[in-house]
């Protein structure tokens, strides 16, 4: 373990540490305009919290709260204490901004270094960060964690596959950070260039920033010839480093000395049963500049029961299966985009990309899925294509209980950006 004392804490010691840090965090929060008003109205003080379970005395914090108090309403320190901010894109409304003190950045780098050590990266490895930098936390967050661990760090940034390949080759890169959709695109690029991925020195990929299925992970591993490790983070909780798989690839350890994690029923707000799927709620415990209490992430997951074989005592969450606010309702059926990806990625004929479109036919909402097909299956035989189209539609119907319109398209014909993949387009308002 990277931090043996912290990662192997006995449960009782871990909960004691969480309680101490929760008290300190609440005292810090009371310095902010937002939390001093909210907690003051409830008469809550640090003395009201004597175990991690007492956190349920606190109200939830939502993204709407962050937006309503943008930009400075949650700050707990004088402005000259802050050294960096990250923010959401805010292209459709008020963004959310998170401010960091130097202590916050040091703590964050340590958490990311812990994650990278857990998947097998070590001092002496060469690490290529194939992620966007700037306001997006994934670039700088991973970068500083890699340097903290002692890795030779190549800040490649996103996109430009030819340059990525040259860097991978020239510097004998052994580990990369890459979003899942670009990993699948990069696999296609290597094939077009006639490059055998197994000729590269890489052995480890950190994948995250967008939800993906186990089928997508397996495909990344098979196509790129490495081990791909799932991760979880969000800007509101620092960025990457909130939870990470270890070498066992058996769920993501939430670093409970830095966060309190809850799983709730998204409809009632009550705690979900152990092992039951629900919405993840997070509280920061080691942030001075802008701590956040009981943040509703809207991400759906569950706690994995039992201990991990790696020996770490911090609880594990399952991969994110979707979001409480991205559920699609079509013909009375609740559908999550991840269900569609899971079905598509299990089919050998399907290439790396797809697009879900919502449209209206009369007064009825309809679902169309555009699916890229591998070149060897995109043939001129109309009967063969029609058969494949029906096969995909049937596979999707088995998964989502609705038969979508399926449109087969050629490999690499769906537009791709350098950032997170756009998987759902709602055309209904434009009709």
Average pLDDT over residues 168-193: 94
The pLDDT confidence band at residue 421, using thresholds 50, 70 and 90, is: confident
- Mean pLDDT taken over the chain: 93
Average pLDDT over residues 200-214: 91
The pLDDT confidence band at residue 8, using thresholds 50, 70 and 90, is: very high
- The answer to whether residues 292 and 419 belong to one domain is no
The pLDDT confidence band at residue 93, using thresholds 50, 70 and 90, is: low
Q: Is residue 15 predicted with pLDDT exceeding 50?
A: yes
21: left (phi over 0), alpha (psi -120 to 50) or beta: alpha
In total, how many domains does the chain have?
A: 2
pLDDT of residue 431: 65
Residue that the structure tokens 């899925």 belong to: 369
Structural domain containing residue 373: 328-430
Of 276, 306, 325, which closes a domain? 325
- The answer to whether residues 59 and 203 belong to one domain is yes
Average pLDDT over residues 366-372: 95
Phi then psi for residue 62, to 5 deg, are -120, 170
pLDDT of residue 88: 75
Of 282, 307, 325, which closes a domain? 325
- The answer to whether residues 352 and 308 belong to one domain is no
pLDDT of residue 324: 81
DSSP string, 256-302: TTTEEEEEE-TTT-SBPPTT--EEEEEEESS-SSS--SSEEEEEEE-
Average pLDDT over residues 296-309: 95
3-state secondary structure of 129: strand
| Helix locations, 50-136, DSSP H | 63-68, 102-118
pLDDT of residue 362: 75
Sorted by sequence, the CB contacts under 8 Å of residue 386 that are 6+ apart come out as none
- The answer to whether residues 235 and 379 belong to one domain is no
CA 214 vs CA 205, 344, 397, 421: distances in Å: 15, 12, 20, 17
Identify whether the C-beta of residue 117 lies closer than 8 Å to the C-beta of residue 145. Answer: no
Digit-coded pLDDT (tens) for 396-405: 999 888 899 9
């Amino acid at each position: 373990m990277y931090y043996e004392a912290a990662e192997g804490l006995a449960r009782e010691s871990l909960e004691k540490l969480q309680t101490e840090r929760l008290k300190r965090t609440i005292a810090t929060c009371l310095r902010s305009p937002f939390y001093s008003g909210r907690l003051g109205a409830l008469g809550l003080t640090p003395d009201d919290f004597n175990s991690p379970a007492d956190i349920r005395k606190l109200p939830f914090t939502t993204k709407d709260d962050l937006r309503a108090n943008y930009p400075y309403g949650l700050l707990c320190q004088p402005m000259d204490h802050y050294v960096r901010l990250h923010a959401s894109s805010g292209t459709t409304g008020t963004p959310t901004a998170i401010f960091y003190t130097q202590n916050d950045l040091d703590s964050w780098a340590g958490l990311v270094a812990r994650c990278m050590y857990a998947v097998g990266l070590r001092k002496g490895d060469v690490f290529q960060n194939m992620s966007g930098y700037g306001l997006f936390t994934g670039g700088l967050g991973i970068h500083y964690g890699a340097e903290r661990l002692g890795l030779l760090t190549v800040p490649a940034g996103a996109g430009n596959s030819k340059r990525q390949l040259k860097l991978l080759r020239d510097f004998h890169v052994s580990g990369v950070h890459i979003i899942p959709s670009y990993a699948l695109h990069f696999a296609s690029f290597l094939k077009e260039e006639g490059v055998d991925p197994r000729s590269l020195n890489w052995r480890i990929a950190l994948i995250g920033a967008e939800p993906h299925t186990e089928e997508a992970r397996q495909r990344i591993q098979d196509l790129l010839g490495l081990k791909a490790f799932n991760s979880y983070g969000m800007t509101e909780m620092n960025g990457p480093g909130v939870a990470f798989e270890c070498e066992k690839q058996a769920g993501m350890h939430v670093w409970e000395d830095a966060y309190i994690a809850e799983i709730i029923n998204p409809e009632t707000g009550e705690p979900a049963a152990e092992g039951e799927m629900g919405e993840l709620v997070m509280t920061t415990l080691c942030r001075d500049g802008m701590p956040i209490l009981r943040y509703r992430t809207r991400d759906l997951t569950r706690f994995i029961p039992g201990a991990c074989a790696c020996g770490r005592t911090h609880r594990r969450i399952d991969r994110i299966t979707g979001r409480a606010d991205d559920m699609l309702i079509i013909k009375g059926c609740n559908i999550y985009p991840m269900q569609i990806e899971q079905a598509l990625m299990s089919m050998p004929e399907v290439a790396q990309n797809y697009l879900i479109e919502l449209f209206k036919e009369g007064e009825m909402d309809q679902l169309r899925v555009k699916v890229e097909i591998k070149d060897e299956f995109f043939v001129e035989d109309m009967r063969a294509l029609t058969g494949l189209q029906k096969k995909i539609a049937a596979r999707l119907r088995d998964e989502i209980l609705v038969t979508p319109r399926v449109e087969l398209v050629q490999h690499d014909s769906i537009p791709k950006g350098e950032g997170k993949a756009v998987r759902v387009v709602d055309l209904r308002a434009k009709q």
